[in-house]
Amino acid sequence: MPILRTERLILRPIAESDVDALHRVWTDPDVRRYLWDDVILSKETVKEIVHASETCFREVGSGYFALELADQPGVLVGFCGHRRFEDGGQMELLYAILPDYWGQGLTTEAAAAVLQYGFEECGMARVIASTDTPNQRSVRVLQRLGMVFEQRREYRGLDTIFYSLTPQDLAARL
């Protein structure tokens, strides 16, 4: 399984041993507000997400990565990775980090590494990302990554913004 490293982070595939830590992250009120539309996930649902990520790694070569600070290995502070979008044909970028780590550029750093990995190692031709329009922190992350605005529309009853990125877009930005 791949392990990605950035200047400040270690990214490793999430595993069943991460269920408790992921549950803490994903049920944090500030995280779940936009990531899970304010739904409090059960530990059983978190296990299902971990298993879906493991399947995605087997089928596509990528899935969700646990984020650990390089100077604090073993301490999960968030996640970032790919999943198949609901239509099944597109890969989607998702991420979240605990509020104590907001504003430090860690999410952008992790997402850039995951996108590069997806394009270079997994042969992804295009990755999409979406966020609720009020989630301006996430909008700024997507913009810093060089993702291209596609549309704003209602999705699951919420005002949502969609972005995309191709390897060519990424190369042009670098």
pLDDT tens figures, 82-115: 999 877 679 999 999 999 999 999 999 999 999 9
17 against 89, higher pLDDT: 17
pLDDT surpassing 90 at residue 23: yes
d(CA 100, CA 111): 18
- The candidate with the shortest Cα–Cα distance to 119, out of 53, 172, 49, 55, is 172
pLDDT tens figures, 61-70: 999 999 999 9
For position 164, what pLDDT does the model report?
A: 96
Q: What domains can be seen in the chain, in order of their start residue?
A: 4-173 (3.40.630.30)
Averaged confidence pLDDT in the chain: 94
For position 105, what pLDDT does the model report?
A: 96
- Looking at this protein, which amino acid is placed at residue 174? L
Residue 132 banded pLDDT, cuts 50, 70, 90: very high
For position 174, what pLDDT does the model report?
A: 61
